[in-house]
């Protein structure tokens, strides 16, 4: 029955975890997957999460099915976080939000809904983009193309190229945009450039899909989410996928969401009914625990304050590691100017290293990043930084 089944290639990001786990090098460092580790190299259990879980455990409850769209208090908390609790879209009830299986689940539910709505639309993702964007939208049945984004020579964004591609896209094209902390490059566009992107999206009647997996890891929760307000102000309908994997350190709980801003409350009800069909036919309804924890934190002012503080600490530590990486590379003898690392934002650095250099780093030194040269600076710490810098210096 399965004789014709071919071996699929390893996942370019999560596949590295498997290779890392099997590596016997005692100095190995995993900068492959986008996961935040603290200065002791430990995955943090946030105090706000622990407190919420301890409270929940005081009165253990039976687990019935959740509604198809998830926990109401969770969906409302997501709306508040993404759009602002007192914002016009939330007050007028024109946001349809569903609890999703991680940010990936939010993207997939949105993709499945869009495939039914606009079966012939093309999808544009940034070049480069999160490795899974292309695969996910392709598997949802779309033809996926890209718009220029990274300018290697400039070490920044090819904004003119990006804008030209958006302006040339046919009406109805689905454009996947990174709301903040661009994955993999670490280069975001400026607020003024967002205005130009939004103007192009509006003029050309494109369908914007914002992927917001790293809210709070750039400049702050409100700052990173500000682009959503710009799309609202432009009077556009759009999609936003949210992930709490990183911001709550709840990777394995798969807590995410999809929000769709509609023109009216009545339209949002119709859209929600279709999103529910996409969920029901994929996995029926979401699991309880992660969503309940996030709702218990976001909806409680004291716990939410703790979360904001803990998220800020992660953000600040990542920034400090960027500087240490630049200094360490120089101390290790790297001659080229690596200060661009501190101009990047979020969890990743697009290092500019070639595939061959990344493979050498992995095979000879046990330092894991993706073949594209992406390194997760959120996994650097005061103990592994010197080793990482020396290893990079040897392959450059």
Catalytic annotation present for 130: yes
Per rule CB under 6 A, count of chain residues that contact ligand LMR: 6
Site for ligand LMR in 169-188 (CB under 6 A): 183
CA–CA separation, 45 and 297 (whole Å): 14
Query: Pairing mode, if any, of strands 95-101 and 255-261?
Result: antiparallel
Instruction: Give the span between the Cα atoms of 294 and 192, in whole angstroms.
Output: 33
Q: Assess 250 for contact with ligand LMR (CB under 6 A).
A: no
Closest distance of CB 76 from ligand LMR, Å: 25
Nearer to ligand LMR, 89 or 110 (CB): 110
Q: Please pick, from the candidates 20, 30, 31, 33, the single residue that binds ligand LMR as defined by CB under 6 A.
A: 33
CB contact at 8 A, 153 and 185: no
Residue 37 binds ligand LMR, judged by CB under 6 A = no
Q: In terms of DSSP H, where are the helices of the chain? A: 14-22, 47-58, 72-83, 88-91, 102-117, 131-139, 159-168, 191-203, 221-233, 265-282, 289-298, 301-331, 355-365, 385-395
Q: Which is nearer to ligand LMR, 132 or 357 (CB)?
A: 132
Smallest distance from ligand LMR to CB 51, Å: 26
Binding pattern to ligand LMR, positions 103-132, x when CB under 6 A?
---------------------------x-x
**Which residue out of 246, 276, 307, 324 is catalytically annotated?**
246
Q: Which is closer to ligand LMR, CB of 214 or CB of 365? A: 214
Q: x/- contact string, 305-344, with ligand LMR (CB under 6 A)?
A: ----------------------------------------
CA–CA dist 303, 75 (Å, integer): 18
Q: Which residue is at the shortest CB distance from ligand LMR?
A: 34
Least spacing, CB of residue 183 vs ligand LMR, in Å: 5
- The reply to whether 233 belongs to the active site is no
Per-residue x/- track, 130-159, ligand LMR (CB under 6 A) = x-x---------------------------
Q: Which is nearer to ligand LMR, 372 or 391 (CB)?
A: 372
Which residues have a Cβ under 8 Å from the Cβ of 174 and sit 6 or more positions away?
114, 118, 121, 122, 123, 124, 137, 142, 206, 207, 209
Spatial contact of 13 and 370, defined as CB atoms under 8 Å apart:
yes
Query: Which DSSP category does 370 fall into?
Result: -
Closest separation in Å from C-beta 309 to ligand LMR? 24
Q: Does 34 bind ligand LMR (CB under 6 A)?
A: yes
Residue 132 or 207 with smaller CB distance to ligand LMR: 132
| Catalytic pick among 130, 188, 307, 324 | 130
Q: Roughly what angle, to the nearest 10 degrees, separates helices 72-83 and 289-298?
A: 50
Which own/partner contact pairs does 224-227 have at CB distance under 8 Å and 24+ positions apart?
224/179, 224/180, 224/181, 225/81, 225/82, 225/179, 225/180, 226/191, 227/179, 227/180, 227/194
Nearer to ligand LMR, 186 or 286 (CB): 186
Residue 211 annotated as catalytic: yes
SS3 176: strand
Q: Is residue 36 exposed (0-12), middle (13-18) or buried (19+ Cβ within 10 Å)?
A: buried
Q: How far is the CB of 34 from ligand LMR (least distance, A)?
A: 3
d(CA 144, CA 133): 9
Measured from the CB atom, is 367 or 396 closer to ligand LMR?
367
CB of 258 to ligand LMR, least distance (A): 16
- Contacts with ligand LMR by CB under 6 A lie at 13, 33-34, 130, 132, 183
| Residue positions annotated with a catalytic role | 130, 211, 246
């Amino acid at each position: 029955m399965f004789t014709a089944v071919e071996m699929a290639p390893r996942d370019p990001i999560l596949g590295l975890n498997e290779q890392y786990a099997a590596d016997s090098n005692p100095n190995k460092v995993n900068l492959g997957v986008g996961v935040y580790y603290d200065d002791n190299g430990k995955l943090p259990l946030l105090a706000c999460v622990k407190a919420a879980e301890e409270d929940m455990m005081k009165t253990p409850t039976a687990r019935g099915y959740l509604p198809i769209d998830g926990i109401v208090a969770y969906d409302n908390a997501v709306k508040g976080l993404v759009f602002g609790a007192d914002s016009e879209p939330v007050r007028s009830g024109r946001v349809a939000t569903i609890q999703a299986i991680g940010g990936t689940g939010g993207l997939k539910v949105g993709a499945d809904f869009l495939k039914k709505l606009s079966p012939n639309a093309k999808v544009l993702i940034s070049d480069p983009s999160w490795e899974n964007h292309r695969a996910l939208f392709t598997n949802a049945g779309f033809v996926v193309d890209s718009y220029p984004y990274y300018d290697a020579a400039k070490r920044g964004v090819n904004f003119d190229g990006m804008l030209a591609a958006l302006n040339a896209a046919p009406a109805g094209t689905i454009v996947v945009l990174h709301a903040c902390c661009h994955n993999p490059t670490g280069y975001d566009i400026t607020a003024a450039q967002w205005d130009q992107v939004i103007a192009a999206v509006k003029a050309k009647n494109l369908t914007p899909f914002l992927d917001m997996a790293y809210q709070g890891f750039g400049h702050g929760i409100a700052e990173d989410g500000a682009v959503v307000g710009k799309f609202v102000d432009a009077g556009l309908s759009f999609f936003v996928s949210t992930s709490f994997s990183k911001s709550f350190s709840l990777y394995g709980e798969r807590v995410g969401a999809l929000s769709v801003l509609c023109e009216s409350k009545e339209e949002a009800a119709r859209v929600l009914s279709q999103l529910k069909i996409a969920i029901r036919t994929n996995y029926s309804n979401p699991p309880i625990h992660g969503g309940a924890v996030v709702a218990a934190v976001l909806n409680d002012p004291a716990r939410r304050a703790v979360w904001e503080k803990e998220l800020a600490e992660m953000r600040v530590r990542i920034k400090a590691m960027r500087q240490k990486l630049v200094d360490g590379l120089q101390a290790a003898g790297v001659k080229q100017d690596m200060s661009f690392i501190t101009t990047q934002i979020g969890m990743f650095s697009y290092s500019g290293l070639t595939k061959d250099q990344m493979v050498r780093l992995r095979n000879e030194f046990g330092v894991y990043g993706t073949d594209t040269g992406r390194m997760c600076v959120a996994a650097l710490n005061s103990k592994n930084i010197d080793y990482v810098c020396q290893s990079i210096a040897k392959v450059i």
